[in-house]
Amino acid sequence: MIRGIYTSASGMILNQKLMDLTANNIANVSTTGFKRDIAQVESFRRMMTYRIYDDSSNSIDNAIGYMSLGADVSRIVSDFSQGLYIKTDEPLNLAIRGSGFFAVEKVDPQTGQVQVYYTRNGAFTLNSNGELVTLEGFRVLGQNGRIVLQNQGQIRIDEQGNIYQDGRFVDRLRLVDFQDKTLLRKIGNNLFEADVQNQQIAFSGRVLQGYLEGSNVNSVQEMVNMINVLRAYEANQKAFIAQDETLQKAVNEIARK
């Protein structure tokens, strides 16, 4: 009975985590470049159960079968499928068609340490120094480092990421791709951190100027997932309550005798 309570409780905890994940996906349905998260669920190791206090048969005959003791989220991965394109006609708004990422750098204000991250959010702008930055202020990297542009002048960016201002070549965007995207770790909603062992491969996508990539979250599908998770949570909750009430009744009846 206690084992059943633990199994039902683990199911409730699992579905609570799935609900949080689904709610976060829905909350970012309008976030530019957001990639939905998917939970990988793994069951606990199964155990062989036996009848006890049964002297009429040997231990092999007492075997009832294997019992699963519940499940939990083993890891959370991102779905890197393409989102819808949003036309903005802004020269510093960029989208990637195909696989790949923009490289940006974040400077720790306390230590001054520079960390390189990767993103699909191409909503860029210029800071007071003329540097190409994200809306959060992270500097966009080119092949020669930080990209510096004039505040005035016609900016053209071709499909290979080459940046021209008034017909003059400035730099080329640092566009990267990875052999195993499951090794990327999400930082916040739009940034990804690459493991040092994750091998980079040649960028094979195309850059679209004047476009942004929308979130790849399907709000209808996420709402269906939320309903399914809620039903699974309620089922585990009812099983937990039923076992608790049965255990309470058994204890009270034994106490009377």
Domain boundaries, the chain: 2-79+218-256, 85-213
pLDDT of 57 above 70:
no
Q: Which among 28-42, 48-62, 186-200 has the top mean pLDDT?
A: 28-42
Spatial neighbors of 55 by CB under 8 A, at least 6 apart, are none
pLDDT of residue 55: 63
pTM across the whole model: 0.79
Tokens describing residue 121: 């959010």
C-alpha dihedral (128, 115, 160, 203), degrees to nearest 10: -170
Predicted local distance difference test score (pLDDT) of residue 212: 96
Rounded CA-CA distance 209/207 in Å is 6
Cβ partners under 8 Å of residue 185, min gap 6? 192, 193, 194, 195
State which amino acid sits at residue 190. Answer: N
Going by the DSSP 8-state scheme, the letter that residue 173 receives in this structure is: B
pLDDT value, residue 170: 94
Is 80 exceeded by the pLDDT of residue 232? yes
Percent above pLDDT 90 for the chain: 56
pLDDT > 70 fraction of the chain, expressed in percent and rounded = 91
